[in-house]
Amino acid sequence: MRHGAYEGHRPSYHAPHEAALTQNGREQIPRSLPLPEGITAIVTSPIPHARQTATLVAHLTGLPIVATSGLLAEWRAQSNVLGRTAETYPPAYRTWRARHLASPSLRCEDGESLTDLHTRARHCATFLQHTALRHGPLLAVSHTLFLGVLTHLQEGPAAFVTPPREPRGSSPSAACSPTASPRHCTFRDMNDEGPTVRPPPMTCWTQAATPWRFHCMSRSCESS
């Protein structure tokens, strides 16, 4: 599940970690229900607007939050772009943006490189599978860019910017099932706003072995 709308939420905006859900963000959550059938537990990013989203879902559904993991956190931008939009990005960050696809291991100051992000997403996929084996099918609450990479691991670091075709008006959810083979996840997006880079589509992903395979779950979803 992508978190609800937060304070300052707009395109090309790098939210400060402390940004909280807005009233609109809180109102989005009941509209996202019901969740996919069979979910028995929630895992969440520790970033406050994701954690608040998970807490509200837990309250509305009665599902327990069984883990809070930094593996589900959003891509870490360099500190001095937090709270900024594209018009005020510093020169070093603009230079990094121009070079990051050609050099995915390149970092900008204290930010994550695309290679760092993809490696974390691979570790997160393993974490979700192991957690689902203990707790049953999971709802994972996370963030736009990270979910885009997590749901397209086979594309490597380039998944950061490869835009999928996305069904409009879809509601958010991400469910991970521990069934022996294959494992399944369903992703739906809560927001029509937010970063324009790669919001995840409504997708089912299965893994009997690598690589991940993706199948559209929505009647309105277009093939990519």
Looking at residue 75, the DSSP 8-state letter turns out to be P
Whether pLDDT at 207 is above 60: no
Query: What is the arithmetic mean of pLDDT over 193-204?
Result: 34
Strands 65-68 and 41-44: parallel
Amino acid 156: pLDDT: 84
More confident residue, 201 or 147: 147
Amino acid 200: pLDDT: 38
Whether pLDDT at 134 is above 90: yes
All structural domains of the chain, each given as residue ranges with its CATH number in brackets, are 23-216 (3.40.50.1240)
Whether pLDDT at 209 is above 60: no
Amino acid 67: pLDDT: 97
Rounded to whole angstroms, what are the CA distances from 67 to 17, 45, 55, 153?
A: 19, 9, 12, 22
Whether pLDDT at 165 is above 70: no
Give the pLDDT confidence of 106-131 residue by residue, as tens digits. Answer: 999 999 999 999 999 999 999 998 99
Residue 6 near residue 49 (C-beta atoms within 8 A): yes
Output the pTM of the full model.
0.76
Amino acid 161: pLDDT: 64
Mean of the per-residue pLDDT values for the chain? 74
Is residue 31 within a helix (H) or strand (E), and if so which, with residue range? Answer: helix 23-32
In our burial notation (b when 16+ CB lie closer than 10 A, e otherwise), range 85-116 reads eeeebeeebeebeeebeeebeebbeebbbbbb
Amino acid 126: pLDDT: 93
